[in-house]
């Protein structure tokens, strides 16, 4: 890459990342932290569950990160294991976050820090059994011997659905937590199970979450975040009602108050904000994401945080994510645009293909991407936008032509690299999405119809309906009457199943 571009990227690395706040920089939220601390104190006697809720950008993930630190890392604190999973916006990823939790537990059980507590044979057996059951439940959409094939060749090579029902999944995960709780009780510790963004979860994931909350053993804290706006819709309302019925508390996050805004500006940006400016920000943009966009812009422009300068920054800025991108250099903007159509998490081979990178430039650019503050590296080595609002903004800004072209490139990249990717379910669902959005309707029709049927048999009717409706639309575009009739029949049967009992699909 030309040196001048790399210099520009290095200069841009001065911004504070939009990823969840590091615990040592976490600001404010005293009342909410006290509530969570009180819930923690009761966990040893009786399992506890809590939902952290609020609109996008309000700081839910940052509070979850602070909670993880309090449980596991804080000097003089509990020094207890934390299991954390994150749900991403790709319909059909059944139990992927729960498998992340299981993987975290396995790592704890085999590490030096908690291995002496969690390394018992009973724990190891519970981990193996839960992993096996969760893997088999997702297996209906795992292909057999999938190599670098074209979209047409993918169809018809799916594995036969194993007979693993939901009840076995619930039992296996429940037994895993009970064994974990039993070990915690013997040490005076607790184990925290943290799930981020459950508003994106499949109906099956939400069902398992609800059943888990209902039967939490002593020594286990389950905390999860849920967005209250922009797509959460009735999903949040349903979750709110369910946890209330189960007797679990909700911790809603409001906008930050003036004194919290001053603290955030000083600790994270080294800016001294006066009372007048803080009060104005509290009224205009009290959520942490908007505040970060404002403070990053002030620092980028070398402006003092005066009321006049803040007014100037906010004037005509539009949505906060737009303000965040306004100060990015051109390479950063280009990377964001070209990757925004991907469904997170982003595998490095797919990213490299999308950005047309080779050799040493891959590692170089991925490091620079993370330094930009717009992207973050995930624990497994994959990537995502630092905050969902950034990706949502990029997608909205794409022209129709650009969106179609980028989805076509994404589909091609998945086909080129699938032999190097481990998440077959993620690959197939991504291909189904990208083929459709690229208007490659011949490939999209068959793949979405087949996947829709698989998810129907797994009782994930919401995902099945999304996939099957894509197949209907694709069949209409290519004028295949037989395929259209089959897709419509499958769609109608799924709708009937959602509404009430119906005979099984073929």
Q: DSSP character for 343?
A: P
Residue carrying the six token digits 């001053």: 262
Cβ(49)–Cβ(242) below 8 Å: no
Cα–Cα distance measured from residue 396 to residue 315, given in angstroms and rounded to the nearest whole number: 21
pLDDT for the residue numbered 1: 37
Residues 406-465 have pLDDT tens digits of: 999 999 999 999 889 988 889 999 999 999 999 999 999 999 999 999 899 888 999 999
Residues 48-97 have pLDDT tens digits of: 999 999 999 999 999 999 999 999 998 888 899 999 999 998 888 989 99
Cβ neighbours of 130 (radius 10 Å): 25
Q: 3-class DSSP state for residue 71?
A: helix
| CA–CA–CA angle 318, 319, 322 (5° rounding) | 85
- Asked whether residue 497 carries a pLDDT value surpassing 60, the answer given is yes
For all residues of the chain together, what is the average pLDDT?
A: 88
pLDDT for the residue numbered 151: 43
Percent of the chain with pLDDT over 90: 70
Going along 207-318, which residue ranges are E strands? 220-227, 250-252
Q: What backbone torsions phi and psi does residue 174 show, to the nearest 5 degrees?
A: -60, -45
- Asked whether residue 354 carries a pLDDT value surpassing 80, the answer given is yes
Helical (H) or strand (E) element with 195: strand 191-196
According to DSSP, the β-strands at 220-227 and 48-54 are parallel
Residue carrying the six token digits 């990160």: 65
pLDDT for the residue numbered 4: 35
Cβ(456)–Cβ(464) below 8 Å: yes
- Asked whether residue 232 carries a pLDDT value surpassing 70, the answer given is no
pLDDT for the residue numbered 371: 84
Q: How far is CA 126 from the centre of its chain?
A: 26
Residues 303-338 have pLDDT tens digits of: 999 999 999 998 867 789 999 998 888 888 999 999
Q: Which two structure tokens, joined as six digits, stand for 161?
A: 């659905």
pLDDT band at 362 (very low <50, low <70, confident <90, very high): confident
- Asked whether residue 184 carries a pLDDT value surpassing 70, the answer given is yes
pLDDT band at 234 (very low <50, low <70, confident <90, very high): low
pLDDT for the residue numbered 147: 37
pLDDT band at 361 (very low <50, low <70, confident <90, very high): confident
pLDDT band at 136 (very low <50, low <70, confident <90, very high): confident
Residues 398-416 have pLDDT tens digits of: 999 999 999 999 999 999 9
Residues 185-229 have pLDDT tens digits of: 888 899 999 999 999 998 899 999 999 999 999 999 999 999 997
pLDDT band at 14 (very low <50, low <70, confident <90, very high): low
pLDDT band at 163 (very low <50, low <70, confident <90, very high): low
pLDDT band at 504 (very low <50, low <70, confident <90, very high): low
pLDDT for the residue numbered 161: 53
> Between 440 and 284, where is the model more confident?
440
């Amino acid at each position: 890459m030309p040196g001048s571009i790399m210099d520009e990227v290095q200069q841009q690395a001065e911004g504070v990342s939009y990823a969840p706040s590091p615990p040592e920089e976490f600001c404010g939220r005293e009342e909410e932290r006290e509530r969570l601390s009180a819930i923690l104190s009761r966990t040893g006697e009786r399992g506890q569950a809590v939902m952290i809720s609020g609109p996008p950008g309000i700081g839910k993930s940052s509070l979850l990160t602070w909670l993880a630190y309090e449980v596991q890392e804080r000097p003089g604190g509990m020094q207890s294991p934390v299991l954390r999973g994150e749900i991403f916006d790709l319909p059909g990823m059944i139990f992927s976050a729960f498998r992340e939790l299981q993987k975290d537990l396995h790592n704890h059980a085999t590490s030096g820090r908690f291995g002496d507590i969690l390394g018992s044979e009973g724990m190891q057996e519970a981990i193996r059994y839960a992993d096996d059951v969760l893997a088999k439940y997702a297996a209906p959409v795992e292909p057999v011997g999938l190599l670098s094939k074209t979209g047409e060749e993918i169809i018809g090579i799916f594995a036969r659905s194993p007979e693993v029902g939901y009840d076995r999944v619930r039992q296996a995960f429940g037994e895993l937590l009970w064994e974990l709780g039993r070990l915690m009780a013997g040490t005076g510790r607790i184990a925290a199970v943290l799930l981020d963004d459950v508003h994106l979860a499949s109906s099956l994931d939400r069902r398992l979450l609800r059943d888990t909350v209902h039967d939490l053993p002593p020594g286990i804290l389950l905390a999860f975040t849920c967005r209250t706006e922009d797509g959460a819709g009735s999903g949040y309302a349903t979750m709110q009602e369910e946890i209330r019925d189960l007797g679990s508390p909700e911790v809603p996050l409001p906008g930050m108050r003036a004194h919290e805004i001053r603290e955030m500006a000083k600790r994270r940006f080294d800016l001294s904000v006066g009372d007048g400016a803080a009060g104005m920000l509290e009224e205009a943009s009290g959520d942490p994401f908007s505040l970060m966009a404002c403070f990053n812009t002030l620092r980028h422009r070398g402006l003092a945080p005066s009321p006049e300068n803040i007014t100037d920054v906010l004037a005509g800025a539009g949505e906060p994510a737009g303000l965040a991108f306004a100060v990015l250099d051109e390479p950063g903007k280009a990377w964001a645009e070209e990757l925004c159509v991907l469904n997170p998490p982003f595998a490095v081979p797919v990213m490299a293909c999308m950005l047309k990178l080779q050799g040493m430039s891959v590692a170089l650019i991925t490091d620079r991407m993370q330094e930009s503050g717009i992207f973050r590296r995930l624990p497994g080595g994959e990537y995502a936008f630092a905050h969902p609002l950034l990706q949502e903004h990029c997608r909205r800004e794409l022209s129709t032509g650009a969106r179609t072209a980028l989805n076509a490139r994404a589909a091609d990249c998945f086909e080129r690299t699938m032999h190097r990717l481990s998440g077959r379910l993620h690959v197939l669902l991504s291909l189904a999405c990208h083929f459709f959005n690229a208007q490659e309707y011949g490939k999209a029709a068959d793949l979405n119809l087949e996947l829709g049927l698989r998810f129907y048999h797994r009782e994930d009717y919401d995902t099945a309906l999304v996939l099957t409706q894509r197949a209907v639309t694709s069949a209409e575009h290519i004028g295949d009457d037989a395929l259209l009739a089959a897709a419509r029949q499958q769609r109608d049967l799924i709708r009937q199943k959602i509404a009430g009992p119906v005979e099984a699909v073929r």
